[in-house]
Amino acid sequence: MELEERMRPPLSPDFNRERRFNQEIWGQQRLEVQTFPAVTTIPLNVKLKIIAYIEKENFNMLIALDMDGTLLNEEGKISPENREAIVHAQSLGHIVIIATGRSYMDAERQLRLVDLECPVVSLNGAVVTLPDRTLAASKPLNKEDIIPALRWMSGIPELYYEVYTEDNVYVELDKRVRLEKLSELNDEAVPGELRWLLKAMIAKQFQQASVTYVESMEEIWSKDEYVIFKTLAFSLNRELLKEASTRFAAIPGLIITASHVNNIEINHKDANKGSGVGMLAAHYGIPAEQVAVMGDSYNDLPMFEMAGYRIAMENAAPILKETADFVTGNHAENGVAEGLRHLLEKRKGQ
């Protein structure tokens, strides 16, 4: 007869009832939830497997890094210092993921340039991709619902906007030309901070791996083969931006976020960085309390809300700094490397 022992599962109190275990223990898929009663009967051989699993994995962390304003420096690159810090964290068994508003192809290109492999939460959580390029989840927008709002934006010269598919970014050519002209205005016409933002947006476009300019966005939304996951709108006229936000807010099933006070980003209501990071945490069997996140903008708030530890960049929006457990250096000064060193030292001391 197999020896059995009554015991509580060796988990923290918050995770006694639900825990996602590795397939090697339960013989189940990673994404299947195993539910326990408060006290249960577990065969001794399974108990030993659980203990071995915990000792082996040590509840390693999942660390989510934003890209723009966080991991990427002012040149739009991953610095050698940041890369080294990521590789070190990975060597300790931690899962480092990218959580970005960029397309997957663009994020993956940035990683490939410095020989890094990471899971990617792209387009603000609308697409989740594993390191082997397996698509783990996707939440597209309903084109029929958003076409009227997109058509309205196309007719407003002061509104610049982009449409994102899984692997490309589409911009109307005349919008790009207008944006470039705005960046050339002097301080009297455009305050210095906004002019810097305009130049940064244009620089980001040149850095992106896949931007396609079209005469009219009708070319995209009128064809079934184009699946839209996100749209971003930018304007110096905040009243126009507010009007755009109001139009999208009236459409059921959408969420509106921002990465700056002069833009809005529209996604499926179930697509945000928090849900994407949470999905990967579940996939790897890591509880939320072992999730650490690092970011700088408003669209990072959903993952700040779900994480166990939050790190804001020195250049982050005030609300992120207020909710952060630690404020690291500027993205232009290898702030990610500093944040990872702090995180690993803190963990070592626990």
Residue 267 is predicted with a pLDDT of 95
* Structure tokens, 102: 């960029």
Q: List, run by run, the mean pLDDT of 10-residue segments along the chain (350 residues).
A: 34 35 34 36 52 51 96 94 97 96 92 96 96 94 95 92 91 80 59 63 63 91 93 89 95 88 90 96 94 95 96 96 97 97 86
Residue 43 is predicted with a pLDDT of 57
Task: Spell out the long-range contacts of 308-313 with Cβ–Cβ below 8 A and sequence spacing 24 or more.
Answer: 309/343, 309/346, 311/339, 311/342, 311/343, 313/69, 313/70, 313/339
Give residue-wise pLDDT tens across range 286-307. 999 999 999 999 999 999 999 9
Cα 17-23-28 angle, rounded to 5 deg: 70
Residue 38 is predicted with a pLDDT of 38
Q: Could you give all domains of the chain from N- to C-terminal order, each with its CATH number?
A: 4-57 (no CATH), 62-139+272-348 (3.40.50.1000), 143-268 (3.30.1240.10)
Q: What percent helix, strand, coil does the chain show, rounded to 5?
A: 45, 20, 35
Q: Where are the beta strands (DSSP E) in 16-117?
A: 18-19, 34-35, 40-43, 62-65, 95-99
Residue 137 is predicted with a pLDDT of 93
* Structure tokens, 64: 């989510």
Q: How far is CA 265 from the centre of its chain?
A: 13
Count of C-beta atoms within a 10 Å radius of residue 300: 33
Among 138, 119, 144, CA closest to 130? 119
d(CA 40, CA 44): 12
Cβ–Cβ < 8 Å for 213, 171: yes
Give residue-wise pLDDT tens across range 132-146. 999 999 999 999 999
User: Radius of gyration of the chain from Cα atoms?
Assistant: 22
Residue 238 is predicted with a pLDDT of 87
Which member of 66, 68, 296, 300 is catalytic? 66
Q: How far is CA 314 from the centre of its chain?
A: 19
- DSSP-derived 3-state class of residue 142: coil
Q: Kindly report whether the global pTM for this prediction surpasses the value 0.85.
A: no
Instruction: Based on the residue annotation, tell me whether 187 is a catalytic residue of this protein.
Output: no
